[in-house]
């Protein structure tokens, strides 16, 4: 009975994805004219279009650029802050922590227009850096929360012993503390990567031509000849691949990440 | 847990503070600024006071979008929370299937949101989608583009598909924290399946379920990309939720004043919800730590 419910649920999850993969291997002719559960002649033409057309593959490069930039920025500022929250009390710490949370929860739609104005004003509009900075809005708080959760699991005696042994704070932090919470850093980085990867509204608002993310390229596949379903499906499949690969490494921490490090 | 009080810790928090201030406070100030002014273009602004707020709070359009939003979030919670718990109870506890199940279940969570919309847009079409085709074939008149009911059903099913795994994974994390001894004791006492669930599993899941409810409520409350790609807010305005309406107003029509006023109201609602979330979460943690020491 349990097996059956679980199997049905997983089938429900996989069928729409299968349909996308299935479509990406068909010709447009076959997609539009017939209903086939398996592609009749498997074709990789749709994927070739994406890998050879700069308009398509530059979208992937842009997306990956801002996602990686964002992950690096988020983690490097979040590490010391999370340490401070997990080890010390200080003036306004609770308010600060709450304020960070509100940013994780803020609807991107509220920020779309002001971000557009802000980044245009400082000349960053249509660069990957603009999107990377904009995504810090929700990723930095997320990283702080997750890292704080992991750091609180490390006993404070370790810090104290290291200081007695004559380690300076930066040296202790890099040499001793970071290896101890390596899995936490990995998980936080993964979640930053992921939330930046799946977001479209801000990424689309802050770019026009040069830094257009793949997600935005996909919304513009409609041409005079109708929608190019095969290529659209292939592009969709390719956006699922990065997540599907890294998910294996963080499978046991997924709940922790989504719960902001609080499980 | 007695943390030492040390204001020098602020130096460690400073980078985060500056970065988030740059990307949150500055833009928010712009929004506040817009919300009390009117413009006729040419960058000329006039003081408008609270006009936009009065107009917004009285407007039919805002009431309807808010109503749709609340209805949507309510439906989502009513389906996803029980379903997620059910799935979590069905998940294997040991063996090689654990990893496989976790990976397969997490898959929809990692798909870019517009691709989620695209998947369901294609899947639901009567001509080329498996779902739409099958439903039409067995005699149901299903068309999410023209029929309001079908559009709603499709969006709700899509969101269930997208996010139920999150609830299930959180509930599963809660279930795994229950020591085997509890179950053995229950077995010895001859407890029924239902009383095991009610007296052992549910209390242990309480903490994670509260997180799940709040996360799902807030995230569904600001849903934008998926319904935007799927229906574009249509047919008519029937699936125009708050975020979609706001973006239409701000970036579509460039009605800065009304859009800014709406942003502020929207943000205040989220702020209130975040406060509830924070209080519940930290209270829970303090209780646990209090119990442990």
Which of A212, A226, A258 should one mutate to test binding to chain B, selecting the residue with the greatest count of B CBs within 10 A?
A258
**Per-residue pLDDT reduced to its tens digit, B22-36:** 888 888 888 888 788
Tell me the nearest-neighbour CA distance from A256 into chain B, angstroms.
8
**Per-residue pLDDT reduced to its tens digit, A124-170:** 888 889 999 999 998 999 899 889 888 988 888 888 889 898 888 88
CB B262 within 8 A of CB B54: no
Contact A255 B130 (CB under 8 A): no
Contact B19 A140 (CB under 8 A): yes
Give the list of residues 6+ apart from residue A242 with CB closer than 8 angstroms, or none: A197
**Per-residue pLDDT reduced to its tens digit, A142-151:** 899 889 888 9
The domain ranges of chain A are 54-226+240-258
In total, the C-beta contacts within 8 angstroms joining chain A to chain B are 277
Question: Of A221-225, B43-47, B178-182, B236-240, where does mean pLDDT reach its minimum?
Answer: A221-225
Say how far apart CA B103 and CA A247 lie, in whole Å.
6
Q: pLDDT category, B292, cuts 50, 70, 90?
A: very low
**Could you tell me the maximum CA-CA distance found in chain A, to the nearest angstrom?**
75
Residue of A nearest to B255 (CA): A113
ipTM of the complex in this document? 0.84
**Per-residue pLDDT reduced to its tens digit, B107-165:** 998 888 888 988 898 888 877 888 888 888 888 888 888 888 889 999 999 999 999 99
CB A66 within 8 A of CB A128: yes
Contact B112 A117 (CB under 8 A): no
Which of A10, A110, A256 should one mutate to test binding to chain B, selecting the residue with the greatest count of B CBs within 10 A?
A110
Cα dist. B240→B116, B204, B259 in Å? 18, 38, 15
Among the partner-chain residues B111, B225, B251, the one whose CB lies closest to the CB of A113 is B251
φ, ψ of residue A10 in degrees (nearest 5): -65, -35
Task: Say what the pLDDT of residue B1 is.
Answer: 54
Res. A36: pLDDT tops 50: yes
Structural domains present in chain B: 61-292 (1.10.3720.10)
Q: How much is the CA Rg of chain B, to the nearest whole Å?
A: 24
Q: Which CATH superfamily is domain A54-226+240-258 in?
A: MetI-like (1.10.3720.10)
CB A198 within 8 A of CB B113: yes
Give the list of residues 6+ apart from residue B180 with CB closer than 8 angstroms, or none: none
Contact B104 A14 (CB under 8 A): yes
Task: Say what the pLDDT of residue A220 is.
Answer: 64
The residue-averaged pLDDT of A50-71 equals 88
Pick the closest to residue B121 from B238, B236, B231, B239 (CA basis).
B231
A178 in contact with B, Cβ within 8 Å:
no
Among the partner-chain residues B266, B270, B281, the one whose CB lies closest to the CB of A262 is B281
């Amino acid at each position: 009975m349990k097996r059956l419910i679980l199997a049905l649920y997983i089938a429900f999850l996989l069928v729409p994805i299968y349909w996308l993969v299935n479509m990406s291997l068909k010709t447009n002719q076959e997609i539009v004219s017939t209903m086939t559960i398996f592609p009749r002649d498997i074709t990789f033409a749709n994927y070739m279009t994406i890998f050879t057309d700069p308009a398509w593959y530059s979208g992937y490069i842009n997306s990956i650029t801002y996602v990686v930039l964002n992950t690096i920025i988020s983690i490097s500022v979040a590490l010391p802050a999370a340490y401070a929250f997990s080890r010390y009390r200080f003036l306004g710490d609770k308010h600060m922590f709450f304020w960070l949370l509100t940013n994780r929860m803020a609807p991107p739609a509220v920020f779309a227009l002001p971000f557009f104005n802000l980044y245009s004003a400082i000349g960053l509009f249509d660069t990957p850096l603009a999107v990377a900075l904009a995504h810090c809005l929700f990723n930095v708080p997320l990283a702080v929360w997750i890292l704080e959760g992991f750091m609180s699991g490390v006993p404070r005696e370790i810090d104290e012993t290291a200081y007695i042994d004559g380690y300076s704070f930066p040296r202790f932090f890099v040499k001793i503390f970071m290896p101890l919470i390596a899995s936490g850093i990995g998980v936080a980085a993964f979640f930053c990567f992921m939330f930046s990867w799946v977001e479209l509204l801000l990424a689309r608002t802050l770019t026009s031509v040069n830094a257009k993310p793949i997600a935005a390229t996909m919304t513009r596949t409609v041409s005079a000849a109708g929608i190019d379903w095969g290529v659209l499906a292939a592009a969709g499949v390719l956006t699922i691949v990065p997540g599907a690969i890294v998910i294996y490494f963080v499978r046991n921490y997924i709940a922790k990440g989504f719960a902001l490090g609080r499980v | 847990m007695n943390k030492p009080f040390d204001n020098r810790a602020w130096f460690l928090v400073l980078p985060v503070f500056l970065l988030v201030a740059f990307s949150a406070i500055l833009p928010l100030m712009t929004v506040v600024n817009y919300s009390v002014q009117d413009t006729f273009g040419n960058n000329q602004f006039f003081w408008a006071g609270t006009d936009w707020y009065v107009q917004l709070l009285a407007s039919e359009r805002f009431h309807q979008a808010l109503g749709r939003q609340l209805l949507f979030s309510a439906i989502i919670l009513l389906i996803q929370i029980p379903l997620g718990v059910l799935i979590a109870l069905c998940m294997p506890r040991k063996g090689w299937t654990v990893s496989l199940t976790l990976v397969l279940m997490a898959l929809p969570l990692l798909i870019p949101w517009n691709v989620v919309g695209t998947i369901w847009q294609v899947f639901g079409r009567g001509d080329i989608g498996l779902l739409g085709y099958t439903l039409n074939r067995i005699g149901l008149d299903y068309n999410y583009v023209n029929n309001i009911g079908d559009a709603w059903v499709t969006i709700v099913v899509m969101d269930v598909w997208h996010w139920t795994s999150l609830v299930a994974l959180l509930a599963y994390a809660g279930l795994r924290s229950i020591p085997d001894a509890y179950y053995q004791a229950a077995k010895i006492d001859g407890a029924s399946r239902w009383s095991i669930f009610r007296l052992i599993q549910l209390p242990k899941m309480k903490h994670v379920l509260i997180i799940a409810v709040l996360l799902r409520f807030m995230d569904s409350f600001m849903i934008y990309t998926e319904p935007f790609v799927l229906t574009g807010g249509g047919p008519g305005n029937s699936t125009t939720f708050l975020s979609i309406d706001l973006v239409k107003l701000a970036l579509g029509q460039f009605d800065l004043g009304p859009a800014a006023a709406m942003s502020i109201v929207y943000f205040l609602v989220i702020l209130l919800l975040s406060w509830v979330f924070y209080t519940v979460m930290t209270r829970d943690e303090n209780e646990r730590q209090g119990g442990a020491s």
